[in-house]
C-alpha cells in the first residue's frame, strides 16, 4: 500500500513533539523511509556492470547527471505517494530510464517531415525549401573556412555584403541594398535609420500583426520612429497621407497586408498615387512588401502579388521584403532602394546586430543566381511547386495510390479529387492554385485518428482533415518522397 502524500511534511525540533503524537504520520514516515532505503546510491549504480553500457554511450559526466535526475524523479514519486512498480530501482530499470532521458535530450530537433498539407511556404514547417545548389553550398560552408570578410586580393578585411554586389546590381541596377536576418529587421532598421525620433505616416488599415503576435506598432516602438495613423480600418486615401504630413514627417510607409484581406466597402491608396504625392511632399516612401517575389506569378493565377522590381520602377524609395517566402531562399530580410537612403541604413548599428552568417549568405547567393540566370522555376523549389499543374499532380497521386494498394492499403478508401493549394507564409492570402488531392474517406469518424498516425509516424507526414476526409496534396511533396507517402498510407490503411 502506497503511503499518503507527505511532500509537505516538515521535520524539525519545533514539530517533533506533535509528530510523535500522531501515530498515522509515524507510520507514513516509516513507510517512506523503508522505500527510500531500497534506493541504491548514485556511485553504486555508476559502478555496476549492468550500467556500464549507459556510461559508454553517453560518457560518465552526462550519464551521472541523467542518473541523478532519474533517481530524484523516483524519490519524488515516493514522497508524492505514488506506487513504485516492482524493480523500479533495479539496475536494469535505472539504466532504461537513464537511456530514455538521454535519447530525449539528444534527439534531433527540429524533425524533418513530409509536407502533404498543400501549403507551399508553410511558416510552421520552415517556409521555403532550398534548391540543390543552395543546399550543397550550405554544407560546404558549414565544413570549411570561407572568405566571409576577407579579401584575397589585398589580404585585408572584406565585406559580407560584397558577396551580393554583382548579383544585386544585375537584379536591381542602380539601386542600393542591405540584407539582414529577416524582413522585420529590415523594416526596423529602415524606420530607425531614416525616421528615428520623427513621424512616419501609415494607414490604420495596414497596422498588421504577423506571426507570433508581432505587430507593426511594436516595430515602431523599437525603432524610435513615431507612428502617425491615418484613415480608417477599411478606407484610406492618399489625401489622408498628405493632410497628416508636417515638418516632423520623416517618411510614408505602405505595408503589404500579405496575410489577410479586407473586403467589402474598402479603399486603399494606389502605389502610383502615393509615389506622386510623397514626392510632392518631399518625403520618402517606404514599402514593406513582405512576401518578396522576384518573379511574376500572374501566369500561375497569383495576382495579388507584385514583383519587387515593379514596385521600385513605380517609384518607391525603399522596398523591404523576405528571403524565405516567394523568393524561395533562406530566412533573410532585404532592403532595396535609393543608394543614399540604403547607405544610411548600412551605417546603423542594427545592421551589424542583424547581419547574415556565412551559411545564409551562401544559400542566398545560389538562390539569387538562379534569378539572374533565368532558371528560377527550375531551380527554386517554392516556384517549382507553385508551377505544377493539376494534371501533373494527378499523375503522381494516382501512382501513389497504386503503390500504396500494392503494399496492402485498402484501395476502396483512396481516391483523387479536385482541390486547391495555398501559397502560405503570409503571401497571397486570396490566391489559390488548383490541384489534385489524394482523399482518404473517413469511416466512423476515424479520419482524425488516421491523420494523427501519419503525423506521429516515421517519417512524419503532415496532412489535413476536411469534411470528414483525410486529404493529402502532393504539390508540396518532393517527387522522391512519393514512395514515403505510399508506404505510410499502406501502414494506416491495411486491409483487415
pLDDT digits over 120-141, tens only?
999 999 999 999 999 999 999 9
Stretch 1-5: mean pLDDT: 48
Instruction: Please give the domain boundaries of the chain with CATH numbers for all domains.
Output: 13-106 (no CATH), 130-376 (3.40.640.10), 385-492 (3.90.1150.180)
Which phi and psi angles does 411 have, rounded to 5°?
Answer: -65, -25
pTM: 0.87
Average pLDDT over residues 337-351: 97
Closest CA to 269 of 304, 298, 231, 307: 231
Residues in the chain: 496
Count of C-beta atoms within a 10 Å radius of residue 40: 15
Q: What is the DSSP string of 436-465?
A: EEEEEE-STT-HHHHHHHHHHSSSEEE-EE
- Measured CA to CA, the distance from residue 155 to residue 460 in angstroms comes to 48
pLDDT bin (cut points 50, 70, 90) of residue 466 is very high
pLDDT averaged over the chain?
A: 90
Query: What span, in angstroms and rounded, lies between the C-alpha atoms of 274 and 238?
Result: 6
Residue linked to cell 549504480: 45
CB 327 within 8 A of CB 426: no
Model pLDDT, residue 235: 85
How does pLDDT run across 191-250, given as a tens digit for each residue? 999 999 999 999 988 887 765 556 888 899 899 999 999 988 788 899 999 999 999 999
433 pLDDT above the threshold of 80: yes
User: pLDDT at position 13, please?
Assistant: 52
pLDDT exceeds cutoff 70 at 25:
no
Calculate Rg over the CA atoms of the chain.
30
- In this structure, what DSSP letter does residue 138 have? H
- The closest alpha carbon to 203, from 99, 285, 312, 93, belongs to 285
Axis crossing angle, helix 216-223 with helix 183-195, rounded to the nearest 10: 50
Does residue 372 register a pLDDT over 90? yes
pLDDT of residue 10: 47
- Position 243 scores a pLDDT of 95
Q: What is the pLDDT of residue 1?
A: 44
Q: Where does residue 102 fall: left (phi above 0), alpha (psi -120 to 50 degrees), or beta otherwise?
A: alpha
pLDDT tens column, 186-203: 999 999 999 999 999 999
Instruction: Check pLDDT > 90 for residue 259.
Output: no
Residues 287 and 320: beta-carbon distance below 8 Å: yes
Would the pLDDT of 382 be above 70?
yes
Predicted pLDDT at 70: 96
Which H or E run contains 279? Answer: helix 271-281
Of the candidates 308, 321, 293, 307, the one whose C-alpha atom is nearest the C-alpha of residue 187 is 321
Residues 6+ apart with CB under 8 A from 444: none
Distance CA 114, CA 457 (A): 11
Q: How far apart are CA 259 and CA 63, in angstroms?
A: 47
Give residue-wise pLDDT tens across range 37-80. 889 999 999 999 999 999 999 999 999 999 999 999 999 988 88
pLDDT at 298: 86
Residue 361 phi/psi, 5-degree rounding, is -60, -45
Burial of residue 346 (number of CB atoms within 10 Å: 0-12, 13-18, 19+): middle
What's the mean pLDDT in 146-174?
A: 96
Q: What is the pLDDT of residue 32?
A: 75
Written as nine digits, the cell of 465 is: 482533415
How many degrees, rounded to 5, is the angle at CA 241 between CA 235 and CA 244?
115
Residue 440's nearest CA partner among 472, 408, 418 is 472
Q: Residue 114's pLDDT is what?
A: 98
pLDDT for the residue 424: 86
Name the least confident of 21-30, 123-132, 222-231, 342-351. 21-30
Report the alpha-carbon distance of residue 432 to residue 427 in Å, rounded: 11
Residue 38, Cβ density class (10 Å: 0-12 exposed, 13-18 middle, ≥19 buried): exposed
pLDDT value of position 210:
65
Amino acid at each position: 500500500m502506497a503511503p499518503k502524500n507527505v511532500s509537505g511534511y516538515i521535520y524539525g525540533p519545533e514539530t517533533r513533539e506533535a509528530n510523535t503524537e500522531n501515530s498515522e504520520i509515524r507510520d507514513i514516515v516509516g513507510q517512506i523511509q523503508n522505500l527510500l532505503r531500497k534506493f541504491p546510491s548514485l556511485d553504486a549504480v555508476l559502478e555496476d556492470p549492468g550500467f556500464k553500457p549507459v556510461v559508454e554511450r553517453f560518457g560518465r559526466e552526462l550519464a551521472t547527471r541523467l542518473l541523478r535526475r532519474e533517481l530524484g524523479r523516483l524519490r519524488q514519486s515516493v514522497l508524492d505517494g505514488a506506487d513504485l512498480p516492482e524493480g523500479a530501482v533495479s539496475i536494469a530499470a535505472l539504466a532504461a530510464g537513464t537511456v530514455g532521458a538521454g535519447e530525449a535530450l539528444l534527439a534531433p530537433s527540429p524533425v524533418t517531415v513530409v509536407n502533404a498539407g498543400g501549403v507551399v511556404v508553410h511558416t510552421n514547417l520552415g517556409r521555403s525549401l532550398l534548391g540543390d545548389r543552395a543546399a550543397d553550398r550550405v554544407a560546404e560552408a558549414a565544413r570549411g573556412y570561407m572568405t566571409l570578410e576577407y579579401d584575397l586580393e589585398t589580404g585585408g578585411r572584406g565585406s559580407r555584403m560584397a558577396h551580393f554586389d554583382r548579383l544585386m546590381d544585375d537584379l536591381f541596377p542602380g539601386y542600393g541594398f542591405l540584407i539582414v536576418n529577416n524582413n522585420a529587421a529590415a523594416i526596423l532598421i529602415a524606420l530607425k535609420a531614416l525616421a528615428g525620433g520623427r513621424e512616419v505616416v501609415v494607414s490604420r488599415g495596414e497596422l498588421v500583426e504577423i506571426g507570433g503576435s508581432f505587430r507593426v506598432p511594436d516595430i515602431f516602438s523599437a525603432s524610435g520612429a513615431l507612428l502617425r495613423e491615418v484613415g480608417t480600418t477599411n478606407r484610406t486615401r492618399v489625401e489622408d497621407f498628405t493632410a497628416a504630413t508636417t515638418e516632423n514627417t520623416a517618411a510614408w510607409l505602405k505595408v503589404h497586408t500579405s496575410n489577410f484581406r479586407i473586403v467589402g466597402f474598402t479603399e486603399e491608396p494606389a502605389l502610383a498615387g502615393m509615389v506622386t504625392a510623397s514626392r510632392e511632399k518631399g518625403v520618402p516612401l517606404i514599402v514593406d512588401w513582405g512576401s518578396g517575389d522576384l518573379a511574376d506569378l500572374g501566369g500561375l493565377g497569383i495576382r495579388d502579388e507584385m514583383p519587387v522590381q515593379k514596385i521600385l520602377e513605380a517609384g518607391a524609395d525603399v522596398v523591404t521584403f523576405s528571403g524565405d517566402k516567394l523568393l524561395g531562399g533562406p530566412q533573410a530580410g532585404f532592403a532595396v532602394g535609393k543608394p543614399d537612403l540604403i547607405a544610411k541604413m548600412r551605417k546603423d548599428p542594427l545592421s551589424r546586430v542583424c547581419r547574415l552568417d556565412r551559411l545564409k549568405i551562401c544559400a542566398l547567393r545560389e538562390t539569387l543566381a538562379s534569378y539572374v540566370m533565368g532558371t528560377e522555376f527550375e531551380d527554386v523549389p517554392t516556384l517549382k511547386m507553385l508551377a505544377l499543374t493539376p494534371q501533373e499532380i494527378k499523375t503522381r497521386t494516382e501512382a501513389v495510390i497504386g503503390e500504396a494498394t500494392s503494399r496492402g492499403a485498402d484501395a476502396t478508401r483512396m481516391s483523387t479529387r479536385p482541390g486547391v493549394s495555398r501559397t502560405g507564409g503570409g503571401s497571397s492570402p486570396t490566391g489559390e492554385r488548383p490541384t489534385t488531392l489524394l482523399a482518404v474517406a473517413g469511416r466512423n469518424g476515424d479520419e482524425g485518428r488516421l491523420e494523427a498516425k501519419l503525423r506521429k509516424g516515421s517519417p512524419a507526414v503532415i496532412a489535413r482533415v476536411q469534411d470528414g476526409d483525410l486529404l493529402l496534396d502532393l504539390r508540396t511533396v518532393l517527387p522522391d518522397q512519393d514512395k514515403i507517402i505510399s508506404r505510410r498510407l499502406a501502414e494506416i490503411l491495411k486491409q483487415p
